[in-house]
Amino acid sequence: MYQHLINNISTRIELNQADVELCEKYFEPVLFPKNSIIEEEGRVPKYLYYVVSGFIRLFHYNEDGDEVTTHLNCPPGFITAYSHFINETRSSENVECITPCELLRINKADLDTICKQSSAFKDYSILVFHAALAYNENRAKELASLTAEQRYIKLIDNYPSVIHHVPLQYIASFLGMKPESLSRIRKKIIS
């Protein structure tokens, strides 16, 4: 599992043997079954997760008690309630494994330690958090400016595996629509 993360980092940052050893020391491999809530709202997120395999979502409950999916994560990539993890504040979101997941996780104290001990990890963590900010900014723009059909087409073009592994109600929520609307869009595209 470590090699997966090391390969991912190495595509952007050069790692030496000491960096690899830090990765193996501080990232903990974990397996979770389908439908596991691995971080709960109302609590400070304990871990930043690297997804080796499987699909994860971030969601919260709206004022009507309905689940609202705010993020879908496909492998590879990192996921947590980022701002709450970094600021060590209570999260308003849940992190749930949609499928069985193989993950590497690191807690905040260990992330701080690894970044102090390795300039490569410090640089990489900055890249990851910048990418998360850019992703969220772009997602907000898309929700405001693209039609529901355009958002769906963009999702399946960029992340085709989501369609095969993530339930439609989560995809619809993530795209800001009702499942019935997504069904109509899918039928229109197929025909």
CATH of the domain at 43: 2.60.120.10
Q: What is the mean pLDDT of the chain?
A: 93
Phi and psi angles of residue 59, each rounded to the nearest 5 degrees, phi first: -150, 160
pLDDT of residue 118: 95
What 3-state class would DSSP assign to 114? helix
Whether the predicted pLDDT of 131 surpasses 90: no
Whether the predicted pLDDT of 62 surpasses 90: yes
Question: Is there a single domain that holds both residue 112 and residue 153?
Answer: no
Question: Is there a single domain that holds both residue 83 and residue 42?
Answer: yes
pLDDT of residue 190: 83
Question: Is there a single domain that holds both residue 107 and residue 190?
Answer: no
Question: Is there a single domain that holds both residue 127 and residue 190?
Answer: no
Per-residue pLDDT tens over the stretch 65-81 = 999 999 998 788 899 99
Total count of domains within the chain: 2
Question: Is there a single domain that holds both residue 132 and residue 150?
Answer: no
pLDDT of residue 75: 82
Question: Confidence band (pLDDT; 50, 70, 90) for 104?
Answer: very high
Of 120, 137, 154, the position where a domain reaches its end is: 137
Of 137, 161, 177, the position where a domain reaches its end is: 137
Helix and strand numbers, DSSP H then E, in the chain: 9, 8
Question: Is there a single domain that holds both residue 18 and residue 85?
Answer: yes
Query: Sheet containing 77-79: which strands, arranged edge to edge?
Result: 28-32, 101-107, 47-53, 77-79
Averaged pLDDT, 87-116: 96
For residues 135 and 155, give the distance between their C-alpha atoms in angstroms, rounded to a whole number.
13
pLDDT of residue 24: 95
Question: Is there a single domain that holds both residue 56 and residue 17?
Answer: yes
- Region at 35 (left for phi over 0; alpha for psi -120 to 50; beta for the rest): left
The type of residue at 52 is: V
Q: Domain range holding 123?
A: 2-137
Whether the predicted pLDDT of 135 surpasses 90: no
Lowest-confidence pick of 19-28, 56-65, 81-90, 123-132: 123-132
For residues 87 and 119, give the distance between their C-alpha atoms in angstroms, rounded to a whole number.
21
Question: Is there a single domain that holds both residue 133 and residue 151?
Answer: no
Question: Confidence band (pLDDT; 50, 70, 90) for 132?
Answer: confident
Question: Is there a single domain that holds both residue 169 and residue 84?
Answer: no
Whether the predicted pLDDT of 47 surpasses 90: yes
pLDDT of residue 74: 79
Query: In the beta sheet, which residues pair with residue 67?
Result: 61
Rg (CA), the chain: 17
Whether the predicted pLDDT of 20 surpasses 90: yes
Question: Is there a single domain that holds both residue 97 and residue 174?
Answer: no
pTM recorded for the entire structure: 0.92
Counting every residue, how long is the chain? 191
Residue 91 buriedness (CB in 10 A; 0-12 / 13-18 / 19+):
buried
Question: Is there a single domain that holds both residue 106 and residue 182?
Answer: no
Question: Is there a single domain that holds both residue 87 and residue 179?
Answer: no
What 3-state class would DSSP assign to 162? helix
Of 102, 117, 137, the position where a domain reaches its end is: 137
pLDDT of residue 1: 84
